[in-house]
Amino acid sequence: MTTGQAPVPDEGRASVERLVGLMVGAHVSIMILVGLRLGLYRALKDTGPATSDELASHTGLHERWLREWLQGQAAAGVIYYRNNGRFELSPAAASFDLITTFDCLHDLTRPAEAAAAIRAAVGPDGTWFIIDFNTAPTFEENLKNPLAPMLYALSVLWCMNSGLSEPGGAGLGTLGLPEPAMRELVSAAGFTRFRRLDLSHPVNAFYEARP
């Protein structure tokens, strides 16, 4: 007699797929921010189809790090892979009609700089779609959240480690970007329109920013 795993209900499978999608999106968004901050998309626009060696020569950056970044961006469909080790800027990456950041802004050491880089990159009719943790502005309000113990633990274990990984890092932590702080961050970066989207979710808040 053989036994196997019980089939995953459709609801459970859909939840897993959504979770994986969010995780992939979050990591790709961080790599997009790396590209913006280091001027890699601009460099690819200048060079045209380029190998990691050629991009390293153009930017003065380490080839091995660039190769890994290029391959990840090609795997995500942000840039094109043209065979023979060459990568090319896609129209989407050139214009940035839509930029997304999924559960990552609070992890950054320089979130204000990242927001400013996004504002510089997004097209005049573009949109910045933001997902971050749904938290309250004060500790007293967060005490009412049944998920608060988990969120503070995640902050200590992961988010603070990232946010303080550089000298002078912002160290926002998991609960560091409630809606008022997010609005201030987006406005300071130069966006003139900001709204919270009416999407119900137990953990995340969803925002839209436009130039």
pLDDT at 1 over 50: no
Quote the domain boundaries for residue 91. 27-95
- Say whether both 81 and 101 belong to one domain: no
Q: Render the chain in DSSP notation, one character per residue.
A: ----PPPPPHHHHHHHHHHHHHHHHHHHHHHHHHHHHHTHHHHHHHH-SB-HHHHHHHH---HHHHHHHHHHHHHTTSEEE-STT-EEE-HHHHH-SEEEEES-GGG-S-HHHHHHHHHHHS-TT-EEEEEEE---SSHHHHTT-TTHHHHHHHIIIIIHHHHTSSTT-----TTS--HHHHHHHHHHTT--EEEE-----SSEEEEEEE-
Per the structure, the count of domains in the chain is 2
User: Of how many residues is the chain composed?
Assistant: 211
Residue 22 lies in a domain: no
pLDDT in tens, 142-162: 999 999 999 999 999 999 999
- Say whether both 115 and 184 belong to one domain: yes
CATH code at position 63: 1.10.10.10
pTM beyond 0.85: the answer is no
pLDDT in tens, 177-202: 999 999 999 999 999 999 999 988 88
pLDDT in tens, 27-44: 787 788 788 888 899 899
Radius of gyration of the chain (CA): 19
Residue 18 lies in a domain: no
